[in-house]
């Protein structure tokens, strides 16, 4: 299935368009249950929503889209559902990678790779490597990701440098720690959307979310589409971003 992302956005980026949108794609299970369908069907329809949103993000002039695909805590789900989610990731990369690449999408992956099956690790690496020079849209896939784990790993690496005598404790600032996170070159999200009505971050980008606008939408992820994304952007545009100061700034 084509994502239909063109190399030229239909509309130029406007100041009120967030440069980086991150999404907690929630509600697949409830969407399925409401229709008497297995949860896996909700996840499958969730991948279709993801394709729509990748296309719409580029058309609307968004530069970075981060999606929460599998959290460190999702391991507590039944093995069959974990198998479904891994199967969907495999299929998503195998079926959609060529299209994403053709459309100029750069794929980045954040999260813990160790502990993932070798074929999944190879697919993630292939997606990153093939698309590394693309510039139309950066799609950051958070897979086996947890924000506390990411921050703890950054702290471990810094502590190791101190223990090895390569760094003085006083050099560790918030900026330093930020540079040791999984994707330090990606700007912080301007807006984080969570679907399905839940209102929490659930261990997603907690460091990077310091000044993000949080937008909660009541619809379940499989029903999310361009119109819903535009609605979230309109909500974002109504917010006044101050970054701890007094005067409103655009943040970009």
C-alpha to C-alpha distances, 119 to 85, 86, 191, nearest whole angstrom: 14, 11, 33
228 binds ligand FPP (CB under 6 A): no
Other beta carbons within 10 Å of 243: 10
Token pair for 109: 């992956």
Size of the site for ligand FPP (CB under 6 A): 18
Binding-site member from 5, 22, 23, 28 for ligand FPP (CB under 6 A): 28
Binding part of the chain for ligand FPP, among 81-89, 117-125, 201-209, 231-239 by CB under 6 A, reads 81-89
What letter does residue 12 receive in the DSSP assignment?
P
- 26 flagged as catalytic: yes
3-state SS, one letter per residue, for 180-233:
CCCCCCCCCCCEEEECCCCCCCCCCCCCCCCCCEEEECCCCHHHCCHHHHHHHH
Binding-site member from 3, 56, 92, 189 for ligand FPP (CB under 6 A): 92
Binding-site member from 5, 23, 56, 89 for ligand FPP (CB under 6 A): 89
List the x/- string, 163-202, binding to ligand FPP by CB under 6 A. Answer: ---------------------------------x------
Work out how close the CB of 32 gets to ligand FPP at its nearest, in angstroms, rounded to a whole number. Answer: 8
Catalytic residue among 26, 84, 96, 188: 26
3-state SS, one letter per residue, for 43-93:
HHHHHHHHHHHHHHHHHCCCCEEEEEEEEHHHHHCCHHHHHHHHHHHHHHH
**H or E stretch covering 144:** strand 137-145
146 binds ligand FPP (CB under 6 A): no
Work out how close the CB of 218 gets to ligand FPP at its nearest, in angstroms, rounded to a whole number. Answer: 13
Work out how close the CB of 128 gets to ligand FPP at its nearest, in angstroms, rounded to a whole number. Answer: 14
26 binds ligand FPP (CB under 6 A): yes
Work out how close the CB of 29 gets to ligand FPP at its nearest, in angstroms, rounded to a whole number. Answer: 2
> Do 221 and 193 touch, CB atoms closer than 8 A?
no
Catalytic residues: 26, 74
Residues of the shown chain interacting with ligand FPP in the complex, contacts defined by CB under 6 A: 25-30, 43, 46-47, 50, 69, 74, 85, 88-89, 92, 196, 221
């Amino acid at each position: 299935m084509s994502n239909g992302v063109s190399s030229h956005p239909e509309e130029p980026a406007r100041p009120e368009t967030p440069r980086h949108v991150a999404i907690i794609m929630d509600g697949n299970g409830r969407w399925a249950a409401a229709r008497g369908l297995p949860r896996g069907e909700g996840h499958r329809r969730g991948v279709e929503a993801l394709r729509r949103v990748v296309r719409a993000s580029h058309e609307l002039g968004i530069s970075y889209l981060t999606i929460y695909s599998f959290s460190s805590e999702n391991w507590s789900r039944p093995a069959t559902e974990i198998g479904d989610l891994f199967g969907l990731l495999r299929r998503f990369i195998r079926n959609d990678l060529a299209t994403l690449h053709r459309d100029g999408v750069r794929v980045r992956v954040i999260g813990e790779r160790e502990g993932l099956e070798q074929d999944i690790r190879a697919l993630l690496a292939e997606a990153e490597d093939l698309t590394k020079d693309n510039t139309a849209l950066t799609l950051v896939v958070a897979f086996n990701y947890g924000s506390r784990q990411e921050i703890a790993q950054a702290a471990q690496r810094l502590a190791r440098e101190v223990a090895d005598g390569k760094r003085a404790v006083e050099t560790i600032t918030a900026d330093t720690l930020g540079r040791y996170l999984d994707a330090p070159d990606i700007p912080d999200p301007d807006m984080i959307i969570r679907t399905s009505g839940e209102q929490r971050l659930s261990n997603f980008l907690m460091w990077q979310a310091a000044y993000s606008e949080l937008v909660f939408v009541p619809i379940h992820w499989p029903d999310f589409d361009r119109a819903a994304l535009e609605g979230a952007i309109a909500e974002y545009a109504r917010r006044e971003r101050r970054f701890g100061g007094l005067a409103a700034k655009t943040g970009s």
